[in-house]
Amino acid sequence: MSVKTKKKMAPRDNGAPDHRPNLHPLMLKNYGKWDYHEKLRPGLLLYVAESGDKLWTVRAGSPRTMSIDTVRKICDLADKYAQGHLRFTSRANVEFSLANEDDIEPLMEEIRSVLGFPIGGTGHSLSNVLHTQGWMHCNLPGTDAAGSVKSIMDQFINEFVTDDKLPARVKISASCCQINCGGQADIAINVQHHHPPVIKPQGVGICELPKVVAICPVAAIRPRQGDDGKTTMEVVDEKCMYCGACHGQCPTMEIRDANTDTLSIWIGGKNSSTRKGPSFMKLAMWGLPNNPPRWPEVGEALQTILDCYKSSAKQYERMGEWIDRIGWKRFFEMTGFPFTKYHIDDSVSARSTFNTSTHVRI
Ligand code: SF4
Ligand code: SF4
């Protein structure tokens, strides 16, 4: 193609975009040339570059789901104090990067008074609790994740705003279905269904049946000829593991049941490769009532886990590393949680769950 006729190509829209244009100017200037960083106090970090430049980070816990007004107020504070730069961490903490030390106190004051956010989440503390999108944006929630997280944060606010009360960092997530897009965490709260989906006959046909059949990870769904001659579906109950994936594919497969759904707690998950490698979380407690608006049974179980962890873990030992050292038998003895047959992974696919890679394997 000649230069004259060469069409302007659209920018590449695959892969991760270049993040550098969005960096704080001091981060860009000192990219890859940082000397050290330290935690000055809860919610305040200092980064010192080889050039002598200093950058302060103020971290606050956001409520995760926010109105546009709140986001605008956050951006106004970033413009006023942080040279127009902020970032959200994977745990929905909001972090302001400051080039001027004198701006730290006024910013912290406005975070508290204007936004109403707590400051903390650094060091050996409880990070902001992560929850999934839930009813706001997803089609298969069996419970409200945002509400339970609000209750948890209210209960454990002291573990967020103070540092070094815990042996290491603790990350908690709450997911509103067993697909668990909240992901791995030291402690994860998931909803649990207790029976196969009930097919709503009047809804069959609104979704593509082959896709519904194909999505079941254990091949429990198969097509069937209905009495009226039309193709419908059936679920092989013995195969179904109540995961709810089919409900996400088609609302006809109704798995949610307010009378029987419960919550479970999984612990020991870790994504990073620090010290010991990444680890999958494992079931600690199941059958907890899904009890809004404050979920007291979940709060009580979390308190028990954190108390045992504080009293027995060594410094820098993450939740899963602590349990690996003392053993699961001791964990159940310490917490008093009942050990049941549901704690034993007897799935035919169990071998693959022993993998600890951070990579998705297909
Ligand atoms: S946890 Fe499940 S229901 Fe909740 S937002 Fe994620 S995929 Fe949707
Ligand atoms: S709940 Fe999960 S295992 Fe059961 S039929 Fe649906 S997709 Fe299959």
For residue 128, the CA-to-ligand 1 centroid distance in Å is: 19
Q: Is 280 in the pocket of ligand 2 (CB under 6 A)?
A: no
Ligand nearest to the CA of 64: 1
Location of each CATH 3.30.70.3340 domain in the chain? 26-115
158 closest CA partner among 61, 86, 236: 61
Is 116 a residue whose pLDDT tops 80?
yes
**pLDDT band at residue 231 using 50, 70 and 90 as cut-offs:** confident
CB atoms within 10 A of CB 34: 15
Atom 8 of ligand 2, residue of closest alpha carbon: 216
SS (H, E, C) 14-55: CCCCCCHHHCCHHHHHCCCCEEEEEEEECCEEEEEECCCCEE
Residue 245 has pLDDT above 70, yes or no: yes
- C-alpha angle 212/220/217, rounded to 5°? 70
Looking at residue 5, its pLDDT comes to: 58
Ligand with an atom nearest the CA of residue 190: 1
Closest ligand 2 atom to Cα of 239: 3
Ligand 2 in reach of 48 Cβ (< 6 A): no
Relative to the CA of 197, which ligand 2 atom is closest? 1
Structure tokens at 206: 């609104």
The CATH code of domain 198-252 reads 3.30.70.20
Residues of the chain with CATH 3.30.70.20: 198-252
Per the structure block, which two tokens stand in for 74?
């956050």
Tell me which residue has tokens 């097509």. 223
Ligand 1 contacts (CB < 6 A) are 132-134, 138, 140-141, 175-177, 179-182
Residue 355 Cα to ligand 2 middle (Å): 23
The reply to whether ligand 2 has any atom less than 6 angstroms from the CB of 196 is yes
Please report which ligand is nearest the Cα atom of 176: 1
Mean pLDDT estimate for the chain: 89
CATH of 130-194+258-353, one of 3.30.365.10, 3.30.413.10, 3.40.1030.10, 3.30.200.20: 3.30.413.10
User: How confident is residue 57, by pLDDT bands cut at 50, 70 and 90?
Assistant: very high
Three-state SS at 255? coil
Residue 362's pLDDT is 35
Confidence of residue 348 (pLDDT cuts 50, 70, 90): low
**Which atom belonging to ligand 2 lies closest to the Cα atom of 193?**
1
Q: Name which residue leads in pLDDT, 350 or 310.
A: 310
The better pLDDT of the pair 271, 61 is held by 61
- Could you identify the atom of ligand 1 that is nearest to the CA of residue 177? 2
How far is ligand 2, taken at its centre, from the CA of residue 212, in Å?
10
Token pair in block for residue 9: 């190509």
**Distance, CA 241 to ligand 2 centroid (Å)?**
6
C-alpha distances in angstroms, 46 versus 84, 86, 113, 121, 196? 18, 15, 23, 15, 52
- Residue 319 is predicted with a pLDDT of 95
Give dist(CA 48, CA 305) in Å, integer.
37
Structure confidence by residue, pLDDT tens digits, 83-110: 999 999 988 999 999 999 999 999 999 9
Which amino acid makes up residue 359?
A: H
Beta strands 282-289; 262-267: pairing state: antiparallel
Q: Which of 242, 256, 347 to mutate to test the pocket of ligand 2 (most atoms within 8 A of CB)?
A: 242
0.85 cut: is pTM over it? yes
Cα–Cα dist 288/311, whole Å? 24
Beta strand segments in the chain, E: 34-41, 44-49, 54-61, 86-88, 93-98, 130-131, 172-175, 187-192, 198-199, 221-225, 231-235, 253-254, 262-267, 282-289
Write out the H or E segment, with its range, that includes residue 335.
helix 328-335
Average of per-residue pLDDT across 68-87 = 97
Pick from 173-182, 312-321, 326-335: least confident: 173-182
pLDDT at 111 over 70: yes
| CATH no. of 26-115 | 3.30.70.3340
Report the SS3 class of residue 142.
Answer: coil
Contacts of residue 227, defined as CB under 8 A and 6 or more positions apart, other chains included, come to none
Give the model's confidence band at 316: pLDDT under 50 very low, under 70 low, under 90 confident, else very high.
very high
* Interval between CA 189 and ligand 1 midpoint (Å): 12
